[in-house]
Amino acid sequence: MTRKLFGTDGVRGQANSWPMTAEMALKLGAAAGRYFRRDGRNAHRVVIGKDTRLSGYMLENALTAGLTSTGMNVLLLGPVPTPAVGFLTRSMRADIGIMISASHNPAEDNGIKFFGPDGFKLSDEAEAEIEQIVGSAITPAQPQNIGRAKRIDDGLGRYIEYAKTTFPRRGQLAGLKVVVDCANGAAYRAAPEVLWELGAEVIPVGVAPNGHNINDRCGSTHTDTAAEAVVAHGADLGISLDGDADRVMILDETGRVADGDQIMALLAARWADAGQLRGGALVATVMSNLGLERFLEGRGLRLERTKVGDRYVVERMRAGGFNLGGEQSGHIVMTDYATTGDGLIAGLQFLAAMVETGERASDLVRQFETVPQMLTNVRYAAGQEPLSAASVQAAIADAEARLQGKGRLLIRKSGTEPLIRVMAECEDDAILGDVVGGIVAALSA
C-alpha cells in the first residue's frame, strides 16, 4: 500500500489544511481506536498530549471524538513533551499514546504522532494498517460501549519526577547557572522545574506560549536566543529544546553550540569507558557528520547508520540491542531512560558529565573536528517531482564524480515538509560549495 497520510514522523501538515483538519483527525482517532480494539475488549485507554499550538485544541477534540466513538477511554494530558507521552503510555498501561505536535515546525503547522503500548512509536506496518482503516468504513462501538474522556492532572508531574531520577543522585546542580530555552513549547513548565529542583539556578527562556509563538526565534532551531541569554547572564550552560522537547542543542558558557553529533560523541565515549554502551556502537542517521564516524572508530566503536528519522534510529537500536543513538538535529535516544528522543534528559546527561568531570561546558562540547558539511533545503510545489528532472539528475551525477574519494553526497525528500534536502561533506570547501550550488540551481530552475 502506498502511504499518503503518514510521513517519517506521523501525520503532519498545515493546520486546517489536508491532512491536518478536524475531519481527518476524527477519522485517524477512529481508525487508531479500531486498530487497537481488534480483540473486542472494552477496557482500552489512550493518553493524548500536545504542545502549545493553537490548533492543538481542535485536533485534540477531534481525536477524542474519534477514539471514544470506537470505545476507547481517553486520558488528556494537556501540554507535555513528546517523550512524556511515550513514558506515560507505558506507565499508565495505555494501548495508545498520541502526541499532537509538529515538533520544530512553525506554529501554523501541526502533526499527530502515535505510540504503541510499549511506549515506542508505531512501526511503518502499523501506520500503514491505520491508514488503510481510515480509507474504509469504520464500525463504531455500540452505544453502551462508547468511551469516556477526562483530563489527567498529574501526568506532567509524573514525568518531572521520572526525569529527575535519570540524573545521578551523587551529583547535584547547586552552583551551576543554566539557561533553558523551551521554544514556547511543550516543555515550558517541565524543563525549568526539573533543573531547579535538582539545584540549578535557572534562567528560563521561551516559557510564555500564546498559541502562536512556538519555535518563533527561539528553541533548538534558533539557538541565538539561548546563546545571548547564556552570555548575558554568565551561565555555565545553555539547553535549547524544540517545540515538543524531543530534541536539544547544548550551548557552552561562551554560547558555542554543540549539535546532536557532538552530544552523542560525548555520551558514547563516556558510556563506553564505563562499560555501559551496549553493542559497542552508536546508531545515527546518514546525516551525521563523517567526523563522528572517525571519532568512534578511533575508540574502537562503530557507527551504525540508518535513514533519516528518529523512529528508524530506534528500530535499529531495538533490533541490535543498542542503547544510544540519535540524529545530528538533536534527537538523542537513550533507551535506558526513554523510548524516544528526550531533549531534557539528554541535557541532564550533559550536566552529569560536567559535574562528574569538573570540566566546563566548553571543554566538553567539541569532541571531534567536523568534516565541512553543507545542507541546503529547496522547497517545491505540491505535485512536483523535481528529482526526476534530467537537469537535476545530471547535476547530481556531476557532483558525485567530483566528490569521489573526497566526501559524500546525500539528497532526499523531507518526510515532514515539501523540501528537497541537499547535503554534502568534503574537506575542500570550494568543491563543497560548487557541488551543492549546482544541484540547488538545477532544483530551483
Identify whether the C-beta of residue 236 lies closer than 8 Å to the C-beta of residue 252: no
Q: What is the identity of the amino acid at 220? A: S
Task: For the chain, report the end-to-end CA distance as a whole number of angstroms.
Answer: 33
Cell of 312: 528508524
**Residue 93 per-residue DSSP state:** T
Identify whether the C-beta of residue 283 lies closer than 8 Å to the C-beta of residue 325: yes
Residue 407 to residue 61: CA distance in whole angstroms: 49
Residue 396 to residue 407: CA distance in whole angstroms: 14
Residue 200 to residue 173: CA distance in whole angstroms: 5
Cell of 431: 568543491
Q: What is the identity of the amino acid at 228? A: E
Residue 81 to residue 188: CA distance in whole angstroms: 9
Identify whether the C-beta of residue 240 lies closer than 8 Å to the C-beta of residue 192: no
Q: What are phi and psi of 178, to 5 degrees?
A: -125, 125
The CA–CA distances, whole Å, from 16 to 55, 75, 331 equal 8, 24, 28
Considering the candidates 55, 103, 220, 329, report the single residue annotated as catalytic.
103
Q: What is the identity of the amino acid at 7? A: G
Q: Give the number of other Cβ atoms within 10 Å of residue 182's Cβ.
A: 32
Q: Mutual orientation of helices 124-134 and 22-36 as an angle, nearest 10°?
A: 120
Residue 132 to residue 293: CA distance in whole angstroms: 39
Residue where the block lists cell 494498517: 129
Residue 378 to residue 367: CA distance in whole angstroms: 31
- The order of strands in the sheet holding 257-258 is 201-205, 177-181, 237-241, 248-251, 257-258
Residue 63 to residue 20: CA distance in whole angstroms: 11
The question of whether 220 is a catalytic residue gets the answer no
Kindly tell me the burial class for residue 233, based on how many C-beta atoms sit within 10 Å of its own C-beta (0-12, 13-18, 19 or more): middle
DSSP 117-164: TTSSBPPHHHHHHHHHHHTSPPPPPPGGG---EEE-SSHHHHHHHHHH
| Residues catalogued as catalytic | 103
